[in-house]
Amino acid sequence: MGCVSGMQSWKRTMWILWVGVLLCSASYTMAVPFLPLFLFELGVDQSSVNLWAGIVHSSAFLVGAVMAPFWGSMADKYGKRKMVIRAGISLAIIYSLISIVQTPWQLIAVRMLHGFVGGFVPASMSIVATVAPANKMGASLGIMQAGTMTGGILGPFFGGLLATAFGQRMSFIVSGAIILLATVAVIIWVKEGQSKTEVKKSTYWGNLKFAFSNSTLRNLLLILLFFQISYNMIQPLLTLHIADLQGSVKEAVLTSGYIFSLIGIAGIIASPIWGRAGERLGYMRMLSFCLASAGLILGMQYFVDQLWLFTFVQFVFGLFIAGIAPTVNTLFVKSTPEEFRGRSFGMTASANQLGSMTGPLIGGGLGLFLGIHWIFVTAGLILAGAGAAVFLKEVSKKRMLKQQ
């Protein structure tokens, strides 16, 4: 009876947090993907909008990359649930502030605050990784990733509808209300429980040293970094590219919302599948396959110049990227002790943030000199190269084991 009760308890916690990350992701994707188009309302002209889009997108991640390990350490010390609540309330305020900015510089300042207070999803993932049985780790994190993808469907869709009907500022206000709702759900229903191991004192730099002294953790962080660089090279430019394919900026927010939602649908379909496949066939094998396939699909967009085909290719791309982050998270958790669990997700979040900062700057800079089609190729090559590196590393490791 105790085992059944325990199983029901961890599943209940997982599904409540699943709803939480869904709402968090929805609030994010209602607001942030449309910021490049919002820049026109703030007075940015067409000639420099690509560069401004890259800066606005990166500014939050610059601060977030520094803060993520700190919040992870605070999660291990004071409780992951408290970090979820802190992040949720703070994000609700940030989205409300975006709705009242009047200049691009004010938008950058608020986005930097956005990066400072983040951590809702990593802390939620960390709770699930702590309460889930070891043999359900991959599947549970895959389900949580599907939650973020579900939010990725709802956010752009409703954000596009709201922006079209009431203006983009209203979608930012609604985003704040949604993340506040998710936070209230965590306050009422989520109980973190007690850690089985005592948390040792640590420092910010000590945590970094621990992660980078372990070759497995170091390689996983580099994979996440390169994945986020390549993915975010194109993200700030997608709404502008969709407007070009459509032939006008009019209704581009709504069209972008539909396309981003399809990527989320792909994630819902694929994330649990990749999690179960990793448990059966090996996580490294799945990671290599997803990276290489995503890179190939992304590079193929060089040849796409019709909106319907672009939409289809984005959907297929979403199927493969859905397997990357949860697989890396699972490998990271399996390679760290429980008392480092919050900090481990802080480290992965930091790598995500650093890549998410660097990618838009590279993409925005390249956008001044090259067409977006060549940016697709560059990003695709980075992903495919990362997939090849993982594959070769795994082959080399197996060869060494056989020789021993």
What would the pLDDT profile of 331-350 be if each residue is shown by its tens digit? Answer: 887 887 766 766 777 777 78
Mean pLDDT of 135-146: 79
Domain of residue 293, residue span:
2-189+204-403
Q: How far apart are CA 399 and CA 390, in angstroms?
A: 14
- Supply the pLDDT for residue 74: 85
- Supply the pLDDT for residue 4: 44
Q: Looking at the predicted structure, is the pLDDT value of residue 5 above 50?
A: no
Whole-Å CA distances, 354 to 60, 134, 226, 347, 363:
10, 29, 10, 10, 14
Answer whether 321's CB lies under 8 Å from 223's CB.
no
Any domain includes 7: yes
- Note the pTM of the prediction, 2 decimals: 0.70
- Supply the pLDDT for residue 249: 65
Query: Which of the two residues, 145 and 210, has the higher pLDDT score?
Result: 145
- Supply the pLDDT for residue 28: 86
- Supply the pLDDT for residue 272: 81
- Supply the pLDDT for residue 205: 62
Listed range (248-252, 290-294, 322-326, 360-364) with the worst mean pLDDT: 248-252
What are the pLDDT digits (tens) for 21-75? 988 888 888 888 778 788 988 988 877 887 788 788 778 877 887 888 788 888 8
What total number of domains does the chain contain? Answer: 1
What percent of the chain has a predicted confidence (pLDDT) above 70? 90
Any domain includes 196: no
DSSP state of 250: T
What are the pLDDT digits (tens) for 70-116? 888 888 788 889 999 999 999 999 999 999 999 999 999 999 999 89
Q: Looking at the predicted structure, is the pLDDT value of residue 197 above 60?
A: no
Mean pLDDT of 347-354: 80
- Supply the pLDDT for residue 11: 87
Query: Which of the two residues, 39 and 207, has the higher pLDDT score?
Result: 39
Name which of 341, 259, 353 is nearest 306 in CA terms.
Answer: 259
Domain of residue 226, CATH code: 1.20.1250.20
Token couple for 245: 């394919």
Query: Which of the two residues, 246 and 198, has the higher pLDDT score?
Result: 246
- Supply the pLDDT for residue 317: 92
- Supply the pLDDT for residue 2: 47
Query: Which of the two residues, 49 and 212, has the higher pLDDT score?
Result: 49
Mean pLDDT of 119-126: 86
Query: Which of the two residues, 149 and 388, has the higher pLDDT score?
Result: 388
Any domain includes 294: yes
Whole-Å CA distances, 133 to 3, 19, 129, 144, 190:
11, 20, 8, 15, 18
Mean pLDDT of 119-133: 85
Mean pLDDT of 371-391: 90
* b/e burial code for range 219-248 (CB count within 10 A of at least 16 → b): ebbebbbbbbbbbbbbbbbbbbbbbebeee
- Supply the pLDDT for residue 108: 93
- Supply the pLDDT for residue 203: 60
Q: Is the dihedral of CA 362, 368, 370, 374 positive or negative?
A: positive
DSSP state of 247: T
Q: How many helices (H) and strands (E) does the chain have?
A: 16, 0
Any domain includes 197: no
Q: Looking at the predicted structure, is the pLDDT value of residue 7 above 60?
A: no
- Supply the pLDDT for residue 349: 78
Mean pLDDT, the chain, rounded, equals: 82
Token couple for 12: 């209940």
- Supply the pLDDT for residue 195: 53
